[in-house]
Amino acid sequence: MTIELSGDGIAALKFHGRDFLKESDFSAAEFTSLIELAEVLKLAKKSGSEPRLLAGKNIALIFEKSSTRTRCAFEVAAADQGANTTYLDPKSSQLGHKESVADTARVLSRFYDAIEFRGAEHALVEELATHSDVPVYNGLTDTWHPTQMLADFLTMAENADGRNWSDISYCYLGDARYNMGNSLLVTGAILGADVRIAAPKQLWPTRDVRELADALAATSGATITLTEDPSEGLSGAEFVHTDVWVSMGEPADVWRERTQILAPYRVDETAMATTGRADAKFMHCLPAYHDTNTAIGAEIAELTGLTDGIEVSDAVFSGTNSLVFDQAENRLHTIKALLVATLA
């Protein structure tokens, strides 16, 4: 099978050997080319005609933070393409403990054809890349989540009837200080979309991230809106994104305070109706606290009284306009595109 990309998609050919650390390292054409490649590979997998372009390749997966989707997506993508993976968690790696990040990068570069890192500090994945002779992929840091953006934008593209990014609008509600808020803001700015961030001002992306988005938007023509008014962000939005409000290990008093601050930004039926669009779609990177069927969901519900979901109601999460499991599947196809573009 020959993989062909239309128009600027041929830029994918220039990915060989490159790192994938944050969205702003790539142009709109480059980012779009990865999404196009993912579309091709997704169709090939479903038709049973997928070429194995990575036979003999070996990929190290370093997980300082655990994950279901990211790990499975990398492992299945590599296996589909004929590559091998080694999973390293904090218990099976000396990264940052007995061995420096730089030395780890130098060693793994001798064994592997690529390295994935998922952890807290973005500086760590940057340091790995600095000292590695092979591509390094950011599976998530506290600051950026570029592999999730590939999946999210593929999912939105699949539901946009072939329209340009300039004709697509989406709103992120919730705590926007970290990777999902940052990445959705900056990626939309790169591609020229209509991007809205609705959050309490103290939970907006930092000034440097906002300034980066503004600079990118000046080139792409993107529309950037940051607002404390959920209605302003939601009005006319085609896609509504959110993420969890609390993280594992945070004390109960933080949960109570966070849920009180973010209650107006909860995605429920009223919020979706505020878009004014019956076809507005809901998106979430997962995991989601949409019911009490998880330990954390049950604990927060007991503390706050939110029994029908925390950041999103179960009716919205499980509704016909929810794209969350399409997003989850697309982690596989977009990560596969990343591997093929950088290693094949």
Q: Is the link from the previous residue into 287 a cis peptide, with omega within 30 of 0?
A: yes
What is the set of domains in the chain, with CATH numbers? 7-145+329-343 (3.40.50.1370), 160-322 (3.40.50.1370)
pLDDT of 318 reads: 98
Q: How far apart are CA 267 and CA 310, in angstroms?
A: 9
Long-range contacts of residues 216-221, Cβ cutoff 8 Å, at least 24 apart: 216/24, 216/186, 216/189, 216/190, 217/189, 217/192, 220/28, 220/189, 220/190, 220/191, 220/192, 221/166, 221/192
For 131-183, how does the pLDDT look when each residue is reduced to its tens digit (9 = 90+)? 999 999 999 999 999 999 999 999 999 999 999 999 999 999 999 999 999 99
For 229-275, how does the pLDDT look when each residue is reduced to its tens digit (9 = 90+)? 999 999 999 999 999 997 766 777 888 889 899 999 999 999 999 99
pLDDT of 8 reads: 46
Average pLDDT over residues 199-206: 98
- What residue type is assigned to position 243 of the chain? D
* In the predicted structure, residue 309 carries a pLDDT above the cut 70: yes
- pTM here is 0.95
Q: Which residues contact 160 (CB under 8 A, 6 or more apart)?
A: 167, 168, 238
* In the predicted structure, residue 7 carries a pLDDT above the cut 60: no
pLDDT band at 11 (very low <50, low <70, confident <90, very high): very low
Q: Could you report how far apart the first and last alpha carbons of the chain are, in Å?
A: 14
